A and B are shown apart, each in its own frame.
Chain A
Amino acid sequence: MIGSSSTPFRIRPPQLLADSATESAANNALAQGYQKGYVRPATQTKAGFSVTAKDRMRAAQQASAGVNEGAQNAANIRAEDQQFNSQQRFDNDLLRQQAMAFDYGQMTDQNAANFDRTFARQSALSGVAQARQRAAMQLRLALLSKGLS
């Protein structure tokens, strides 16, 4: 029976994007950013000169920009996937509600059909019963009037 707790409804839950897939992609994006920004602390430049404050500042900026980019990409991935899962859930809810409304309509149609049929049968039977009663009464009246009763 529809609606019974022991029978699963025919609309199944939606398929969602697994957290592991999201986290794997997000972590890789983050890692790419870290990798892009990572500069090994050096005491000398390629040409053999000492590292200046300017070089250090440039390195720090590069590191910061890389980490920033990675974090942005990771956040985008997480947001996208959350939106996707949310949309999947919404679509599934909509489908489920629509299916339940349809079932309710069908149930009502069936009830109406059953009622109509029963009503028609009952009224026909009552017509017959009335006719029988009328005939019996007329017979009785006729017999009475002729003194035969």
Chain B
Amino acid sequence: MNAGWLKQGLLSDSTHKPQTGTATGDRAAADFAKQTQFANAANMDRGMAKANAQTYGQRQQQSEQMGQQWRQAQMQRFRSLSNQKSQQSAFAMKLLESQIGMQSDWQNSLIGMISQ
């Protein structure tokens, strides 16, 4: 709503005669009422725009918070899987290492037996 003061007939002389006669007094009163209505409408628009803007900001914040919680949970899951993988690979390699050791011992024993 664009209720600029130039639209309100303020520059018109006929509406501003509060000191003379009942009819002009009534007109002036009506004009005041109209002006007040315009002002109230403009203020309501402003109030609504403010409320909407605030709600938008709050929603954005809430959505970001929820997103962060979700991402944090995903990251924990990823870290835990990553640790598991590290442990698994370490275990597998230890196993391999010990197998190699056993094989080596066996080979050495065999060589010892053959040479006797």
CA distance A39 to B20 in the complex (A): 11
Q: Binding site of A, secondary structure by majority: helix, strand, loop or mixed?
A: helix
- Interface: A69 (CB within 8 A): no
Indicate with 1 or 0, residue by residue over A14-54, a CB within 8 angstroms of chain B CB atoms: 11111011101101111110110011101001100000000
Residues of B within 8 A of A131 (CB): 96-97, 100-101
Q: A21-B45, A21-B49 are in contact. Are A42 and B20 (CB under 8 A)?
A: yes
A81 and B96 CA atoms in complex are apart in Å by 72
Q: Smallest CB-CB separation from A44: which chain B residue?
A: B20
Given A17-B53, A31-B5, A114-B82, check contact A128 B46 (CB 8 Å): no
Binding site for A on B (CB under 8 A): 1-5, 8, 10, 13, 16-20, 31-32, 35-36, 38-39, 42-43, 45-46, 49-50, 52-54, 56-57, 60-61, 64, 67-68, 71-72, 75, 78-79, 82-83, 85-87, 89-90, 92-94, 96-97, 100-101, 103-104, 107-108, 111-112, 114-115
Whether the Cβ atoms of B104 and A106 lie closer than 8 Å is no
Q: How many A-B residue pairs have CB under 8 A?
A: 173
- Interface pair A124/B53, CB less than 8 Å apart: no
| Cα A31 to Cα B2 with chains together (Å) | 13
Of the A-B pairs whose beta carbons lie under 8 Å apart in the complex, a sample of 20, sorted by A's number, is: A15-B52, A15-B56, A17-B53, A21-B42, A21-B49, A28-B38, A31-B39, A40-B16, A81-B46, A84-B50, A95-B57, A99-B64, A102-B68, A113-B79, A116-B86, A124-B93, A132-B100, A135-B103, A135-B104, A143-B111
Q: Is the CB of B39 within 8 A of A28?
A: yes
- In the complex, the answer to whether B4 meets A27 with C-beta atoms within 8 Å is yes
A121 and B89 form a contact (CB under 8 A): yes
- Complex Cα distance, B100 from A138, in Å, reads 12
Please name the 6 residue pairs, one residue from A and one from B, whose CB atoms are nearest each other, closest first.
A31-B5, A124-B93, A135-B104, A120-B86, A146-B115, A15-B53
